[in-house]
Structure 1
Amino acid sequence: GAKRNDKVVCRITKWPMEDRKPEGKIIEVLGQKGDRYVEIASVIREHGLPEEFPKKVLDEAEKVAVEIPQEEIDRRLDIRDMNIFTIDGEDAKDLDDAVSIEVLDNGNYKLGVHIADVTHYVKEKSKLDKEALKRATSVYLVDKVIPMLPKNLSNGVCSLNPFEDKLTLSVFMEIDSKGEVIKHDIKETVINSKARMTYTEVSDILEKDDEKLKNTFAKVVDDFYNAEKLARILMQRRE
């Protein structure tokens, strides 16, 4: 049923030889060349990217406990009261890292980077772990993501959504005015993000002094200004 200018998936039945072109069987018609969805589908097929998860993997993901047991919270550093926030693109759904920043009495910065603790939910050698290892990474296309983990994990229990308790691995760094890390500490933590920011919102606060946004995110606005100062120190050091 393929038409002229359709993009198709073809299974090769005869490989090319000096006097013969390859032959094959069309097993899927993707649609007309030039259509954005067809072009993205063709990239997915060309690289053999796995869109669907095996049923056994999805079944295992469904059994992952969403509620955090109290004993797990008790054994971790509880920093749910800290000003912690995420900054991502408007369309992002897997919020896997968050930051916090303080200015210490000695003038140094205390930067916290908090990464979703996926290992609490995805146990080594489990079906989820093996599938994630096979995929290696999430793949970001123009208008869709092919995730490394099923969505109820990547966009749900492992995503650092605002105002939800989440398990994280945190590194705390004390950084001086020259951008040198004086000391650092790594902890298993539990956090509760205070804001889900976008790059546009943060840049509008810092560069355009947007009063409406500053009022909306009043609790974390000072942190943005401190983060910008530290970012400039680190950029200068890098240069």
Structure 2
Amino acid sequence: MHDDMTPAARGAPHARLLLDHAASGQRQWIKRNASLYRSGDPVADYVFFIHAGSFKHYRTDETGARKITAFPACGDFLALDSIGLVRHTCTAVALEDSEVDAISYAILRQHLTILHRLLAQSIRKMRASTAQLHHTTAEQRLAAFLLDLAKRHGRLEGTPPRYRLPMSRCDIGNYLHLSPESVSRVMHQFKQASLILLENRDITLRDASAMEAIATVAPPASPHADQHPLATSHMSKS
């Protein structure tokens, strides 16, 4: 039998079990820049598993400003945060042509243990992301972000890892709490240090180990330090 599951779904037993029990005909195709749901829309009795593609997930504050909370991609779930609500509080927009599988609440109620694990995992990711954004430098944030995208695309096994950035630098900056100029500056530093290769939106991690070191090393002692010391040491080689 043909298996059209993505590598992420095949490697995620929770997703595989839910999809095996989901009703047929629940796949949805979302065009680039189209929304799967928007803030204020009524919540349907579904969560969504991303079969292919990626999304921008954001909320809008009282001033109308958008804050990107995540870039869910293949293997992730959407609308878990809307369970129990009447209307969505966030918007999910496709960054590229994407496919999602709708999983009904009825299916989730049959697998409460899996649902609880998915919700707990979502909370852990949110807390980890919040901690990182408040206690790291621009270099650390961007290095961790690029590494995470490579891992999510299953690209760290490649030599060297290569993938496409579906989001803009403005969106990256919004998510990482950095200005677009800071994103461009650090990208340029990484490129000058031969850590990455950029070709339009295609990125190659030329030294994933060095990027990992930048992402995980302790932040500088001085609160006024503008650049990560490990990043500086790599930049000086260029």
Q: TM bucket by the smaller chain?
A: under 0.3
More helix by share: 2
More strand by share: 1
After TM superposition, the score normalised by the length of structure 1 is 0.26
